[in-house]
Structure 1
Amino acid sequence: KCIFVLADKQSKEKCDILRAVGAEVVVCPTAVEPDDPRSYYSVSKRLAKETPNSWYVNQYDNPSNAKAHYESTGPEIWKQTDGKITHFVVGVGTGGTISGVGKYLKEQNPNIKVWGIDTYGSVFKKYHETGIFDEKEIYPYVTEGIGEDILPKNVNFDIIDGFTKVTDKDGAVYTQRLAKEEGMFLGNSAGSAIKGVLQLKEHFTKDDVVVVLFHDHGSRYVGKMFNDDWMRKQGYIE
């Protein structure tokens, strides 16, 4: 029996798919402080305490998150590129992927560069560059799956070489472009990731092997990024 706690900005399809396979879904407001009792962080902790014999996954701070990517995703990328990878680019949310993969890759070759894709409204980029957790950076954003208003323990800033921020509009537009131009039906964070790669292009040479990881599937965004009426309402397309 699973209870999923998520913010109200997450797509309706995510909730519908979870309920379709028997999960309980609890939706919480996005625009509240992380320590607000109504936030999805607080509600998930409370439900874990109130539910007998339950386990609180805590994907933000549970070290098994990064460890899974260290033991599986990292070796897979290293093997499939024959150790030729020079850059790893990926969206950062809980931090598990970038930290686990980045740690493994840098152990194989310390010269590999690890770049995180962040979004506007998130604290990651400024914190990485200055060490300052700036609450003025925090505001609600549309992009799903990347960026945070907290510092998850799974984000290992020491192995990240840099961040680039992608706007909500660019993330949505490039999610559509990946489907229409490349035939890749992917999630919202994939659009942000490929736009981030393009923003970072001056860091790459023609001989580099750049791996960008896409986290999600387009079926979760049919009512949003793949719906032109929604895109027009957001002001993302004419």
Structure 2
Amino acid sequence: MDTMDVINADHAVHDKRSVTESYQKVSWQRKAFDYFEETMTNKESPFPCVFGVHGFKEDHLRFIFHSYIDMPLLCQQLRKYVKNSRRFGNNTSLVLFTNIDQRFEIDEYHRIFWDTLKELTENDSQPWPAEIPKATDDPKWEFCFAGEPIFVVCNTPSHVMRYSRYSTHFMITFQPRWVFDNILGSPEQARKAFSKVRHILKKYDTTPLSPDLGIYGEPGVLESRQYFLDDTNKTKECPFKNLGD
């Protein structure tokens, strides 16, 4: 594969087959993806996000790769994904793998993560949804892009105890809110699903369950605290009072 092929591949939004066809085993892209695949398919130590595991199995997930975070390209890819997401399946997410420095401390990854979301909102060509507040300390706040509310999760190489948030490469997952709404349906279904995930998390991570985890919209639960969890149970606050202006 020559340099131009890699550049073209990095501009694409991939499914599983496209990733393996586009990148060689020795590439950083394949190393990041192969570890992710191993995590999603590990039967001896099942990954706690059962919806993500199902999404990977059914090829509902989509993948993009950035050597560094190229904001114009990321905006283009995320916009394209949001537009077509309902065609990919009920458990879809967009997973961004990057090749930024793998030796940063958690606080530096936390800064990069929120700076990325802030830049995305600043470069969004569509208005912020009227029903979503812009104050990040509001229980109804949610990251939005291209008119779509999106739950976001960050994984880093520095998460070594909260293993559910570990990745060999800095990684951001974008999951449209409608995915949760379709799967969970009623509040009772949401509580049952959340309880199941918590049960698996207790076995999967070596650090106790985060008190910041909770169901969207419930009193005292903030999405902005759930996106990026610390390796311990120190709350990682969003550095921006408002996000969506």
Normalising by the residue count of structure 1, what TM-score does the alignment of the two structures yield? 0.28
Larger Rg: 1
